[in-house]
Amino acid sequence: MADQSTPSTSGTQGAREGISRRRLLGTAGATGLVLGAAGGATGYAAAPAEATPLTSLGRARAAFHVKHQPGITTPMQARGHLVAFDLAAGTGRKEAAALLRRWSETARRLMAGEPAATGDTAVALDAGPSSLTVTFGFGHGFFGRTGLAARRPAALDPLPDFSSDHLDKARSNGDLWVQIGADDALVAFHALRAIQRDAGSAARLRWQMNGFNRTPGATDRPMTTRNLMGQIDGTRNPKPAEPDFDRRIFVPERGEPDWMANGSYVVVRRIRMLLDEWERLSAKAQEGVIGRRKSDGAPLSGGGETTEMDLEKTDAAGDLAVPINAHARITRPDQNGGAAMLRRPFSFHDGFDADGAPDAGLLFVCWQADPLRGFVPVQRKLDRGDALAPFIRHEASGLFAVPGGAAEGEYVGQRLLEG
């Protein structure tokens, strides 16, 4: 799961590199402030920690009115919620526009560290914005229910069936999709409740999933994160500094349809990791499945994490250093006609099955200008012989059109709903 189209918990490497030294050091300093609070004697409560200024982690703020919606190239956040809604019976274009107007205003306020306009729960009263982002998208069914079927993008056609699918329809798709991310769990939950309340009678909750990532500043330097299989994951994510990044990830300003200008398409998959089976493998066998070293993420052909993989290199026995069915080999863009996507997922753990097996894995979230040229060809290739396939299961799926960011005075999706 370490390369181009695979599920990943690292997010964009380029975005990670964007974490400032000030933010990193501020966060590291904040962790040191709480170490003395747990030393109370048995039977007595520990004394409360002295009040401290809001740390850089809490002060970090993402802008709402931007060219591309927040939460796409934003640095990975520690906590995430993915939510899908279906429009209620009788909800049409007018009601949907009012809903997106409410949601956009709530997102703008909360991302600025302000309370919701009405009925704020005060859950995040003591916290700063904590890098909160709220991202909105439209599913296939939204357009028919609002009388906008003629404006539905061809790129939003349903995804094909894949052999690895074991999909729960109740936890797949939806008319509207919302992604919430923050570096503080209470801030993220506060936004989740506000969005749900704002839905009112216009939309009903279809499904909701919770995820997490490593907290920014938890390492002594920005690093690619590890997934729940213990692999460094996301090394080959496209980087915003690359000249073809926008072309691969975003719909151009003069693209089709016009209301999707500067937007993107997101594929969301709940991918369960069969961790009991995976952990029975030796570290060497796990590396062979992925095609990268577990210790540092370097390709099995040699070098460091970012060294280009040598697909032709062989070992002393004449075998390929990177096995022919290794996940990292199969998912490379140069093995898939250049297909690329920006992966920005969250890990999840939703308890244990009756037999004790963990219900854990990846909320896979990937962005591309066209899913038929990004996600689909790579997933089809994985279907034909990925060594990782026996250790994962795709349990839910969705595809959503995510329009560009809202300008000042606008709400997300306004060009679609009022165009």
For the segment 146-175, what is each residue's pLDDT rounded down to a tens digit?
A: 999 999 999 999 999 999 899 999 999 999
- Name residue, tokens 């690359």: 242
Instruction: Measure the CA–CA gap between 147 and 142, rounded to whole angstroms.
Output: 9
pLDDT at 180 over 80: yes
Cβ(273)–Cβ(415) below 8 Å: no
- What pLDDT is recorded for position 57? 87
Q: Give residue 419's pLDDT band: very low, low, confident or very high (50, 70, 90).
A: confident
φ, ψ at 99 (rounded to 5°): -65, -45
pTM: 0.86
- What pLDDT is recorded for position 335? 84
Mean pLDDT, all residues of the chain: 89
| 244 is annotated as an active-site residue | no
> One of 175, 233, 370, 386 is an active-site residue; which one?
233
Q: Give residue 14's pLDDT band: very low, low, confident or very high (50, 70, 90).
A: very low
Cβ(179)–Cβ(195) below 8 Å: no
Q: Give residue 334's pLDDT band: very low, low, confident or very high (50, 70, 90).
A: confident
pLDDT at 143 over 50: yes
Mean pLDDT in residue range 183-202: 97
pLDDT at 12 over 50: no
Q: Give residue 381's pLDDT band: very low, low, confident or very high (50, 70, 90).
A: very high
- What pLDDT is recorded for position 35? 34
Identify the CA nearest to 232 among candidates 244, 245, 219: 219
Instruction: Measure the CA–CA gap between 238 and 349, rounded to whole angstroms.
Output: 27
Instruction: Measure the CA–CA gap between 378 and 330, rounded to whole angstroms.
Output: 8
pLDDT at 11 over 60: no
Digit-coded pLDDT (tens) for 220-233? 888 898 999 999 98
Task: Please name the amino acid found at residue 18.
Answer: G
- What pLDDT is recorded for position 192? 98
Bridge partner residues of 383 (DSSP): none
Mean pLDDT in residue range 2-26: 42
